[in-house]
Structure 1
Amino acid sequence: MRPAPPAPADKPIKLSKKGPAKVFNTVPTKEKIVFVTIDDGAEKDPKFVEMARELRVPFSMFLMNDAAKTNYAYFKPLQALGNHVQNHTLTHPVMRSLGPEAQKQQICGDQSILVRQYTTKPYLFRPPYGMYNMATQEAAASCGIHGIALWRESMQIHDMQYDDAGKKLHPGDIILAHFRGPKELKGSTMTQMFAALLKHITKQGYTVARLEDYVRPPA
């Protein structure tokens, strides 16, 4: 895969401390780049760490505590490669089914653990199942998170699911994948899924950039 272009000095997505968290599922750009995000943290395949070291393809990790807590250390080598850790709740509930205080507990609780484990403060949040409401946006902001990153495509074992009826990528699209193994991937491994994902991307003439290089957190 060809390298991504240099990150822009003026980051196109600008987050603010004023008001509820900003929601986005794509990044304004004319470059043929997309952004890979990987959720949850259930599967902890050592071979995927080796693959990440070899390929150096950037991705963002949205970690959910109930999945990640069996081995927080697994994600540290991936973080050391420059892949950011972001927030994905404590227990993966449908956020809009919860009241404001329960939503805050889910986000702030995960935030506290992630800060402690990875010595960095996440500034993006992903609501489970992509479901949220204004209370979610306000809860995220109250926990110090001012961006909610959704997605336009999702990787399902070997095939990509597209929001677009034309079934194609667009510049700046955010892609969803998961830390999953053979049990969830019908016998396929995490590395096989990721290889298939990269094949879909390169076949359409795109490369992968780091999402956080295009998002400016509030000062």
Structure 2
Amino acid sequence: MQKDQLLTRRRMLLAGAAVLGAAGAAGAVLAGGDEGTAPPTAAPGPQARRAPKSSAFRLQPLTGDGPPRAAPRGLKVRTEPILRISGRGRHMMLTFDDGPSPEYTPHILDTLAKYDVRAMFFLCGECVVQNRELVARMAEEGHVVGNHTWTHPLLTSLKRGEIRDEMVSTSDAIEDTYGERPQWFRAPYGAWNRAAFQLGAAMGMEPMAWTLDTTDWTTPGTSTIVDRVESGAAPGVVVLSHDAGGDRSQTVRAIREWLPHLLDSGYHLTVPRRRV
């Protein structure tokens, strides 16, 4: 798909989705365009956390009348997720999990737009099909969308076929809305296993983790989230926040404080290059 055609499709999706509404990661990653490589760095503290009750939203096959989907270009299978971005200078990357949410995601997008910052959003398929207009907005505003499974399960408790269904269904939903298949995958709770790495690589997705967890998922208070980001800021850091999956009002308020602070401190917020 040519660039101008893709942009036209995104704009059409953005306009049409508003009508449809709810009906409808081992080593370092290159980001920006002027960066080299860096050795892997371990993320501080445990990444996995207790899984909530499984979603009542069942996996549903996605059908359409369009042409058959092109097979993704397979990637080298990693044994650990990417934890940070590489390169010289004060570069960081912002990531948001579990959305999109009609209650919180628009406010986060508004703040990012205010400061002309791009971020990565790891989306759950069941949220994608209920909020297509927000996914189209992400595309229109230059953000990078990743796959975060359909129902946010603990992958280490699933069979290989179940993991594949979660990943494929989500990639299909994102492509139907965003115009492209995702090139990045993040395992829910940071719980990776061999099947997730193998399946993701076969689907053309790199595994992305994080360096800094804002702990916003524990709703610790806006000031705690702000302090966590500002004290943990450093070149190469990948910040984890959430725009769904619970009360994210603290996250919305916190980013309004810590984002301008990072920019004033000389940090450049970037996203990975798109593979062609």
- Same-fold call, TM cutoff 0.5: yes
Matching residue within 117, 123, 134 for 2:177: 117
CA distance in 1, matches of 2:97, 2:146: 9
User: Is the contact between residue 66 and residue 91 of structure 1 (CA under 8 Å) also seen in structure 2?
Assistant: yes
CA distance in 1, matches of 2:194, 2:226: 27
Using CA pairs below 8 Å that are at least 6 residues apart, which structure has the higher relative contact order?
Answer: 1
Match of 2:87 in 1: 29
Q: Confirm or deny that 1:175 pairs with 2:236.
A: no
TM-score (norm 1): 0.78
Match of 2:131 in 1: 71
Instruction: Please report how far the alpha carbon of residue 21 of structure 1 lies from its aligned counterpart in structure 2 after TM superposition.
Output: 7.2
Residues 89 and 197 (structure 1), Cα distance of their counterparts in 2 relative to 1, 3 Å cut: farther
| 1:83-108 deviation digits (Å, cap 9, x = unpaired) | 01111101101111112221111111
User: Is the contact between residue 153 and residue 160 of structure 1 (CA under 8 Å) also seen in structure 2?
Assistant: no
> 79-88 vs 188-197, which deviates more?
188-197
User: Is the contact between residue 21 and residue 141 of structure 1 (CA under 8 Å) also seen in structure 2?
Assistant: no
Rg comparison, structure with higher value: 2
Residues 1-219 of structure 1 mapped to structure 2, 5 A cutoff: 7-9=32-34, 12=37, 17-20=75-78, 23-44=81-102, 45=104, 46-145=106-205, 147-155=206-214, 156=216, 158=222, 159-160=224-225, 168-180=232-244, 184-185=247-248, 188=249, 191-198=252-259, 201-202=262-263, 205-213=265-273, 217=275
CA distance in 2, matches of 1:55, 1:176: 19
> 59-68 vs 189-198, which deviates more?
189-198
CA distance in 2, matches of 1:89, 1:32: 31
Residues 171 and 114 (structure 1), Cα distance of their counterparts in 2 relative to 1, 3 Å cut: same
Instruction: Please report how far the alpha carbon of residue 11 of structure 1 lies from its aligned counterpart in structure 2 after TM superposition.
Output: 5.8
The percent identity for this pair of structures is 20
User: Is the contact between residue 60 and residue 211 of structure 1 (CA under 8 Å) also seen in structure 2?
Assistant: yes
Amino acid at match of 1:196: E
Q: CA RMSD in A?
A: 3.1
CA distance in 2, matches of 1:99, 1:190: 33
User: Is the contact between residue 123 and residue 144 of structure 1 (CA under 8 Å) also seen in structure 2?
Assistant: yes
Instruction: Please report how far the alpha carbon of residue 22 of structure 1 lies from its aligned counterpart in structure 2 after TM superposition.
Output: 6.2
User: Is the contact between residue 104 and residue 139 of structure 1 (CA under 8 Å) also seen in structure 2?
Assistant: yes
Uncovered stretches (5+) of structure 1, i.e. residues with no partner? 1-5
SS at match of 1:212: coil
Instruction: Please report how far the alpha carbon of residue 28 of structure 1 lies from its aligned counterpart in structure 2 after TM superposition.
Output: 2.0
CA distance in 1, matches of 2:180, 2:147: 11
Residues 50 and 160 (structure 1), Cα distance of their counterparts in 2 relative to 1, 3 Å cut: closer
User: Is the contact between residue 123 and residue 145 of structure 2 (CA under 8 Å) also seen in structure 1?
Assistant: yes
TM-score (norm 2): 0.63
User: Is the contact between residue 153 and residue 162 of structure 1 (CA under 8 Å) also seen in structure 2?
Assistant: no
SS at match of 1:151: coil
Instruction: Please report how far the alpha carbon of residue 168 of structure 1 lies from its aligned counterpart in structure 2 after TM superposition.
Output: 2.6
User: Is the contact between residue 104 and residue 142 of structure 1 (CA under 8 Å) also seen in structure 2?
Assistant: no
CA distance in 2, matches of 1:11, 1:69: 37
Instruction: Please report how far the alpha carbon of residue 112 of structure 1 lies from its aligned counterpart in structure 2 after TM superposition.
Output: 1.0
- More strand by percentage: 1
Residues 43 and 208 (structure 1), Cα distance of their counterparts in 2 relative to 1, 3 Å cut: farther
Residues 55 and 32 (structure 1), Cα distance of their counterparts in 2 relative to 1, 3 Å cut: same
